[in-house]
A and B are shown apart, each in its own frame.
Chain A
């Protein structure tokens, strides 16, 4: 196959909301290779986290990503609670579950709208985002902000769900969006024009998915039944239960269906959570900082998110390591896009639901020897500052 042309997608492109760079190598209309270059949204979060106190870090990691903004503080708090041996009160666990599932609904509807916009179906985009609005307004009442909820803190949650005012509002919002979601799901699956655009596009087989270690809805659409909420339950998922949706075709249509079905399942989980939520305190003040390691694992709307925290007894952590789900999903774009036509390229990139701002980590590779090296943050920061003075 000869490479006749290369097409850069990005860093700024009408179909993409974030800066990222995909270089497509084309043979006519067919994509023969792809080079992925990220790094535009690298803000040095792990570096900053080692210079802030434990109470400040949940607010910092919340701003890693806007769409998964509940997942990162919850994961960090779980990691610290494991390191310090804290038992979070039951009511706080249920509240974390409810907020996490409401976030999943809003994230999946957001993605469905973006995917519809990419295939040119703007009516569906507007309808998906219209039905997403009540969830954002519900968050504004529950947490004080439409996107950055700031609900999680070490030891519990910061705000309570009032059984008199908030519970009725949550149930009303969910009963408002559920019939609309069912209708829109049918509008996607029964429409042959939409199916022609997204069926058998960007196929990832079960074997490829397992080899690339993809996570989240991408894995579940390719037949891998992996879900942290079921495999290693956290918060209140053991009590509330989760029905994991798995499909086997591995194309964009399966991913869209998995996400819409998950959004409908999240509505049921929130209802079960609200019925079973026990009374009690919502926050436990930590009494001492225990040196040790902790790992927090949470099922983000995009997949498994892992935070590692090493505590050394002081009020600043020694090491914070973040592994976001898109880090595993973005490399799976390569086998999907190779062999597809150019017109499907942006859809395939969007179908793994990439969240590039979550994904930005740094690795130092010597291009001559192709070896990775590790260096501490302080020397990295100093050498970069020196370079920017001279450039």
Chain B
């Protein structure tokens, strides 16, 4: 239906132009989390792209996940992912979220993140530079376009 597809295009455009993000720490050392918060501060200022960090997963379009997933966080990670409305994109920020980094072999690590939830974009780095995180979010937003076209 033409009316229906026109409405969906508008939603898709607004998601890309003003994505709201929710940040989830699955046991990281906090470096990647500080760099994510840094991306909001005056030096990098992603609010000019319409990106806002939200307090509830239900308000999010982009899920930023850091950390190798620890055992205690595992059920919470799954629950939060179920609460984020579809369509959404998941960005795994940092080497730990991509591959557990130097924590491989520990008894309490069940990650990396893509073992638990599907991940769209990986941003390796320890921690990744804020510019790389911006690149990651921009690449993730392209996925909104691809998802809608099929």
Instruction: Report if A357-B29 is in contact (Cβ < 8 Å); known contacts: A11-B76, A63-B126, A147-B34.
Output: yes
Neighbour of B107 across the interface among A12, A146, A385, CB < 8 A: A385
Identify which of residues 44-74 in chain B touch chain A, using a CB-to-CB cut-off of 8 Å.
54-57, 67-68, 70-73
B residues near A59, Cβ cutoff 8 Å:
102
CB < 8 Å: which of A14, A43, A380 contacts B70? A43
Query: Please, which residues of chain B bring their CB within 8 A of the CB of A19?
Result: 25-27, 72-73, 76
Please, which residues of chain B bring their CB within 8 A of the CB of A45? 106
A40 and B70 in contact, given A63-B102, A129-B42 (Cβ under 8 angstroms): yes
What's the nearest-Cβ distance from chain A to residue B60, in Å? 12
Determine if A63 and B34 form an interchain contact, defined as CB atoms under 8 angstroms apart. Answer: no
**CB of B24 within 8 Å of the partner chain:** yes
Most chain B beta-carbon neighbours within 10 Å: one of A39, A130, A355: A39
Identify which of A64-72, A95-103, A238-246, A307-315 touches chain B: A64-72
B138 within 8 A of A: no
Q: Verify B76–A12 contact, CB threshold 8 A.
A: yes
Number of interface residues of B (CB under 8 A): 41
* B37 cross-chain contacts in A, Cβ below 8 A: 17, 129
Determine how close the nearest CB of chain B comes to the CB of A77; give it in whole angstroms: 17
- B109 interfacial contact with A, CB 8 Å: yes
Q: Are A44 and B24 interface neighbours, CB within 8 A?
A: no
Cβ of B28 within 8 Å of any chain A Cβ, yes or no, is yes
Binding site for A on B (CB under 8 A): 24-35, 37-38, 41-43, 54-57, 67-68, 70-73, 76, 80, 101-103, 105-110, 126-127, 129
14 additional contacts, CB 8 Å, given A66-B28, A133-B43? A13-B55, A41-B27, A41-B29, A42-B72, A43-B108, A47-B107, A48-B103, A48-B105, A63-B31, A66-B31, A129-B37, A130-B42, A357-B29, A388-B110
